[in-house]
Amino acid sequence: MSEVVARLDGITKSFLGVPVLRGVDLELRAGEVHALMGENGAGKSTLLKVLAGVHRPDSGRILLGGNEVSFATPRDAQAAGIAIIHQELNLLPHRTVAENVFLGREPVRRGQVDRRAMVAETRRLLDWLGEDGIDPEAGVVRLPVAQRQVVEIVKALSADARVLAMDEPTAALADHEVELLYDLVARLRDRGMAILYVSHRMREVFDLSQRITVLKDGAFVTCSPTEELTSDQLVRHMVGRPLDALYPERPTEPGEVRISLRDAGNDRVRDLTFDVRAGEIVGLAGLQGSGRSAIARAIWGVEPFTAGVLERDGEPVRIPNPRTAVRKGIGYVTEDRKGEGLALRQSVRDNALLVRRAALRGQAARRASDLAALLKSVNVVAQGPHQEVRYLSGGNQQKVVLGKWLAVRPNVLIVDEPTRGIDVGAKQAVYQLLRDLAADGMAILMISSELPELIGMSDRILVMHEGAIAGALPAGASEEAVMGLATGHGIGEVA
Ligand SMILES: Nc1ncnc2c1ncn2[C@@H]1O[C@H](COP(=O)(O)OP(=O)(O)OP(=O)(O)O)[C@@H](O)[C@H]1O
Ligand SMILES: [Mg+2]
């Protein structure tokens, strides 16, 4: 059996008297990927932060190579060989790769920052990772998300890192980028690094990990070799009960056309012709950059269509900006919750009411009891409506984003990666919620990079390729059929 590199022993942690970790044990071994799973708010990120010196445990011990250690700062943990990739990426977009890697610990030579050493060391680390395609002097803003993540990893690795903890590293990646990350993780593992890996994607956890630990409500539930667990058993450990079918049944006939595009286009997309009807969930598939989000942004007036016709309930309309979109009853749950979706320093309540205030300026805000019902309908777990959103777990932040749109009761809803970072139980709740909203007469356009989800939820799938619709597929199409169209091969089945 391989060597134990790090051990967490009976870790407890409370915030303002609320226990978040209750005596958690964890063992990380050289050359092993150890997956950490649990529902939103179970304490996964908090445990990683304890390991990485961001939080001090209230009690319990951290052992490295058999010796007890304690970290006053993240820098201490890094120096001791622990690298962590946090749930949200934290790079400065307008600095170069090398500047980000050495932020706050720039090498100095004769009183000056030694740029040449910075670039050389960054290049050495990139080479070591087998990522020599990234230029240390490139601006981060120009890199795709997958490469930014590699930069995060380089930044976190110190000269002799032995532990790498990754918090939902694939949540922001497109499918083909996920493959690249898998490769990288496997390479690091094979070089003897101990990897702690948090993810809500079952398939990923079963593909990558050798061992799985489950937390529930801050407590240790089980630790087991991956090959001895089935996904049903894993879900039961996480949720505490077996789950019903993940995807709700599809209803019968859709209603009238809510939104209709005729040869619509702009700089990014072209020749778009399709309808979305009341009661329908239409899926938009495609590779990163194929134009899925561009369609959403065009309908919503961020980058409006410049060609063709957009009709709302049968009437041609122009939507030059998002405020007009909101007034016309169109909601948009963005894929970038940190950048566009949430005001992190405001309360759950203020966030939930944000859109409604913008839409109905001057009118009284929704009553607190309605708000409670709204947040309950999306299952937000928070200490209360006044808690600041930045302290919610990642999945609960996503639920607040959904909730804030429901407050204005749109009848067209565009959702872009709606379940990113959400646990299985909450995913099922979101799927049911979207289905119920559709059954209530909403027309829903759904973008997702998780193919099983897109196929499981959509009544019809439009597949984008290089800015145009490559074809349409019926409900229950195969992943191969979707990928065929997305990569420019294959043909569609329905118009
Ligand atoms: N700095 C903080 N102050 C107060 N409460 C916090 C703080 N950090 C985390 N919490 C609370 O601790 C609990 C666990 O949060 P944590 O982020 O560890 O969950 P998680 O398992 O990573 O969830 P997710 O899957 O949604 O990312 C949550 O209820 C969260 O609101
Ligand atoms: Mg988390």
User: Would the CB of 45 count as within 6 Å of ligand 1?
Assistant: yes
Q: Indicate if the alpha-carbon torsion angle 327, 382, 174, 445 is positive or negative.
A: negative
Q: Give the β-pairing of 307-312 and 412-416.
A: unpaired
Q: How confident is the model at residue 368 (pLDDT cuts 50, 70, 90)?
A: very low
Q: Is the CB of 397 under 6 A from ligand 1?
A: no
Query: Which ligand minimizes its atom distance to the CA of 393?
Result: 1
Note whether 420 and 287 are same-domain residues. Answer: yes
- Mind listing the pLDDT tens digit for each residue in 237-247? 988 776 667 78
CA–centroid distance, 421 to ligand 2, in Å, is 8
Q: What is the 3-state secondary structure (H, E, C) of 286-312?
A: CCCCCCHHHHHHHHCCCCCCCEEEEEE
Ligand 1 pocket, 395 CB below 6 A?
A: yes
Give the number of the atom of ligand 1 that is nearest the alpha carbon of residue 392: 31
pLDDT, tens digit, 9 for 90 and up, residues 393-425: 777 887 788 777 777 778 899 999 888 877 887
Measured from the alpha carbon of residue 423, the closest ligand is 1
Q: Which residue has the higher pLDDT, 369 or 94?
A: 94
CATH code of 198's domain: 3.40.50.300
Per residue in 263-283, pLDDT (tens digit) is: 999 999 999 999 999 999 999
Please report the sign of the dihedral spanned by the C-alpha atoms of residue 237, residue 239, residue 240, residue 243. Answer: negative
> In a 10 Å sphere around its CB, with 0-12 CB exposed, 13-18 middle and 19+ buried, how is residue 146 labelled?
buried
For residue 384, pLDDT over 80 is answered with no
Are 175 and 198 contained in the same domain? yes
Of the candidates 252, 261, 256, 267, the residue with the CA atom closest to the CA atom of residue 439: 252
Q: What percent of the chain has pLDDT over 90?
A: 46
Starting from the CA of residue 42, give the closest ligand.
Answer: 1
β-bridge pairing 32-37 and 194-198: parallel
Same structural domain for residues 58 and 92?
yes
Ligand with smallest separation from the Cα of 397: 1
Residue 237 sits in the same domain as residue 274:
no
**Mutual angle of helices 175-190 and 145-156, in 10-degree steps:** 20
Q: Is 11 in the pocket of ligand 1 (CB under 6 A)?
A: no
pLDDT, residue 141, reads 87
Whether residue 401 is contained in a domain is answered as no
- Residue 443: give the domain boundaries: 247-340+410-486
* Ligand 1 within 6 A of CB of 88: no
Measure 48 CA to ligand 2 centroid, in angstroms.
9
pTM: 0.74
Could you tell me the distance, in angstroms and rounded to a whole number, from the CA of residue 105 to the centre of ligand 1? 29
38 lines ligand 1 (CB under 6 A): yes
Asked whether 393 lines ligand 1 (CB < 6 A), one says yes
Same domain, 35 and 177: yes
**Rounded mean pLDDT of 383-390?**
81
* pLDDT score for 495: 43
User: Does 484 score more than 90 pLDDT?
Assistant: no
Q: Which of these three, 184, 215, 241, is where a domain ends? A: 241
Residue 362 has pLDDT above 60, yes or no: no
Least confident of 34-48, 141-155, 245-259, 363-377: 363-377
> Is 364 domain-assigned?
no
Using pLDDT thresholds of 50, 70 and 90, give the confidence band for residue 372: low
What's the number of domains the chain is made of? 2
Nearest C-alpha to atom 1 of ligand 1 is from which residue?
391
Q: Ligand 1 in contact with 44 (CB < 6 A)? A: yes
Please tell me what DSSP assigns to residue 315. E
Most distant CA atoms of the chain, gap in Å: 75
In a domain, 168, yes or no: yes
Q: Which atom of ligand 1 is nearest to the CA of 397?
A: 26
Among 45, 202, 215, 390, which is best to mutate for testing ligand 1, by the most ligand atoms less than 8 A from CB?
Answer: 45
113 DSSP β-pair partners: 108
Domain identity same for 142 and 188: yes
Count CB atoms within 10 A of the CB of residue 327.
13
Sign of CA dihedral 182, 185, 188, 190: negative
**Lowest-pLDDT choice from 9-13, 15-19, 204-208, 397-401:** 397-401
Token pair belonging to 436 = 């119920």
